[in-house]
Amino acid sequence: MTPALNVVAPASLIAPQPWQGGALDGEPRIPPTPRAARAFLADLGRRCLQAAETSATAVFRVERLGAPARLAVRRALGEGGVSLLVEGAPRMVARETRFPGVWRVRLGEIDLIELGPAPAPFARRAHIPLAPPRRPTRASEGVFAAPVIVAELLGRAAEDAARHVVALTDRPHTAADLAHLEAAFGRGVGEALCRGRELCRIEATATPRIWRVRHYNAHEALVYDAFEVAALPTLARANAADLAESAESLAALADVLP
Q: What is the DSSP string of 114-162?
A: EESSS-HHHHHHTTSEEE-----SSPPTT--SHHHHHHHHHHHHHTTPS
pLDDT digits (tens, 9 = 90+) for 23-38: 344 545 556 788 899 9
Give residue 64's pLDDT band: very low, low, confident or very high (50, 70, 90).
confident
Q: What whole-number distance in Å separates Cα of residue 112 and Cα of residue 58?
A: 10
Task: Write the DSSP assignment of 185-237 as a string of letters.
Answer: H-EESEEEEEESSSEEEEEE-SSTTEEEEEEE-TT--EEEEEEEESSS-GGG-
Backbone angles phi, psi at 6, to 5 degrees: 60, 40
Q: Which residue did the predictor score with more confidence, 186 or 141?
A: 186
How would you class 172 by CB atoms within 10 Å of its CB: exposed for 0-12, middle for 13-18, buried for 19 or more?
A: exposed
CATH topology of domain 3-16+29-117+238-256: Ribosomal Protein S8; Chain: A, domain 1 (3.30.1370)
Out of 9-18, 131-140, 183-192, 225-234, least confident range:
9-18
Give yes or no on whether 3-16+29-117+238-256 and 129-236 have one common fold: yes
- Average pLDDT, integer, range 215-241: 95
Question: Residue 127, Cα to own-chain centre: how many angstroms?
Answer: 15
- Average pLDDT, integer, range 190-205: 95
For residue 98, give the amino acid letter: R
What's the CA angle centered on 121, arms 117 and 125, to 5 degrees?
Answer: 115
Q: Which residue did the predictor score with more confidence, 19 or 60?
A: 60
CA dihedral 27, 28, 34, 40 (to 10 degrees): -50
pLDDT at 72: 92
Contact predicate 79/97, CB 8 Å: yes
Above 80 in pLDDT, residue 14?
A: no
Question: Residue 218, Cα to own-chain centre: how many angstroms?
Answer: 21
Domain boundaries along the sequence of the chain: 3-16+29-117+238-256, 129-236
CATH topology of domain 129-236: Ribosomal Protein S8; Chain: A, domain 1 (3.30.1370)
Max mean pLDDT among 31-35, 65-69, 210-214 falls in 210-214
